Amino acid sequence: MYQPKKIIVVTGHFGSGKTNFSAALALSLAQAGKPVTVVDFDLVNPYFRTADFKEAFAKHGITLRAPDYANTNVDIPSVQFDLGGLAAGEGHLIIDVGGDEDGAVALGRYSHVLNSYAETGELDMLAVVSFRRYLTRTAAECAEYLRGIERASRMKLTHIVNNTNLGMETTAEMILESMPSCAALSRETGLPVACVTVPDFIEPPQLPGFDVMRVPVVVRLPWMPQSEALK
C-alpha cells in the first residue's frame, strides 16, 4: 500500500486530474487525523485550482497557501510564501504544480530545498497521468512529457498515479483499458505505480497487484453541485 511521504509534489498534464487528486489526497490525510497543508503552485492555469477550495479545506482543518492574486483576474500571480518553511513544518505538505513545463519551471526555483528532502526519503514527486487526455494517450507520449517535467523542475519523479478519467463519465472499463499503458509507462520510466484512482461513484474494477485509491470528484464544472466530500 502506497504511504504518502511528508512532502508530496503533484505534477501532471493539463486535464490529467492532478488538482482533483491533490484535493482528494489532502482530504484523505486530514480525515485520518494528519495535519495537512496544500500549496497551490499552479501559476499557469487559472481554472480548476486547489485555491478554489479554501473554505471547504478550512472546514476539514486543511491549511491552504496560494500565490498572491490567485482566483483573481490578475495575469501574473506572485509567490509570497516561504516554501522552505512550510516544508519544515509539521504534518504533510502537498504541492499542486501547474501543468506543462512552465509550471515545472516555477517549481524549479525551490528545487534545492525540495531535493534535500528527496535525498532523505521524505519527498514523493508524483506524475498524475490520464490516458484519456490529448497528448498523453500512450505510454510513449506520457514518458516524453514526464521527462520534460523533470528537466524543467530539476527534480526527479518518484511514482506514477494512473488517474485515467473522463470526469463524471468515467467508467470501470475505461480504467481497465488504461492498465496496459500504465504498465508500459512504468517499465519505460522505471517509476513504480503509487496507485490507480477510481471515482467514488463507480464500483472499482479488479486490479491485482495495484493499490486502488477511491477519490471523490471535487473538481466540478461551475453549474454542478459541490462534492459531498467538501461539505
CATH code where residue 158 lies: 3.40.50.300
Residue 208 lies in a domain: yes
Residue 68 has pLDDT above 80, yes or no: no
Calpha distance 97→104 (Å, rounded):
7
Residue 1 lies in a domain: no
Burial letters for 152-174: b for 16+ Cβ neighbours within 10 Å, e otherwise? bbbbebbbbbbbbbeeeebeeeb
Residue 229 lies in a domain: no
Residue 228 has pLDDT above 70, yes or no: no
The grid coordinates of residue 8 equal 508530496
At 98, is the pLDDT very low, low, confident or very high (cuts 50, 70, 90)? confident
**What global pTM score does this model have?**
0.89
The total number of structural domains that make up the chain: 1
Residue 122 lies in a domain: yes
Residue 167 has pLDDT above 90, yes or no: no
At 177, is the pLDDT very low, low, confident or very high (cuts 50, 70, 90)? very high
Residue 91 lies in a domain: yes
The grid coordinates of residue 73 equal 483576474
Domain span including residue 12: 7-224
Residue 170 lies in a domain: yes
Q: Is there a contact between 103 and 17 (Cβ–Cβ < 8 Å)?
A: no
At 135, is the pLDDT very low, low, confident or very high (cuts 50, 70, 90)? confident
